[in-house]
């Protein structure tokens, strides 16, 4: 399940790097990335991997749909790419005390 969440979220982010999408797609992207980042933060919290918690909470903060962070498109493209890579890594990461979901 965690691999799927990481991969699907990364695909959404990589697709969002393109131009010409409706604003509603970016709203969906914020929610999807925010929720998946919170999921991974919770996983890393359960496995006591505090660096992972900090990384995924930072991603959740950047993509939070409640108090959005507004940046230029060129900046978002870079953030989307980096976040996609991190989400894929998070999906495949196996911590020593990792909880099974």
Specify the pLDDT at position 98: 57
Is residue 95 situated within a structural domain?
Answer: no
Asked, for residue 101, whether it belongs to a domain, the answer is no
User: How do residues 53-78 score in pLDDT, each as one tens digit?
Assistant: 999 999 999 999 999 999 998 999 99
Q: Which domain holds residue 42?
A: 2-90
Residue closest to 94 by CA, chosen among 38, 49, 58: 49
Question: Is 98 contained in some domain?
Answer: no
DSSP 3-state of 84: helix
- 84 has pLDDT over 90: yes
In a domain, 97, yes or no: no
Residue 99 lies in a domain: no
In total, how many domains does the chain have? 1
Q: Is residue 100 part of a domain?
A: no
Of 81, 84, 82, 99, whose CA–CA distance to 1 is shortest? 99
């Amino acid at each position: 399940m965690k691999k799927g969440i990481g991969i699907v979220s990364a695909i959404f982010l990589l697709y969002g790097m393109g131009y010409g999408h409706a604003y509603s797609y970016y709203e969906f992207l914020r929610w999807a990335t925010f929720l998946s980042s919170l999921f991974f933060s919770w996983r890393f919290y359960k496995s006591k991997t505090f660096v992972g918690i900090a990384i995924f909470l930072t991603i959740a903060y950047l993509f939070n749909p409640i108090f959005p962070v507004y940046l230029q498109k060129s900046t978002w493209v870079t953030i989307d790419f980096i976040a996609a890579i991190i989400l894929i890594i998070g999906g495949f990461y196996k911590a020593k005390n990792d909880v099974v979901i």
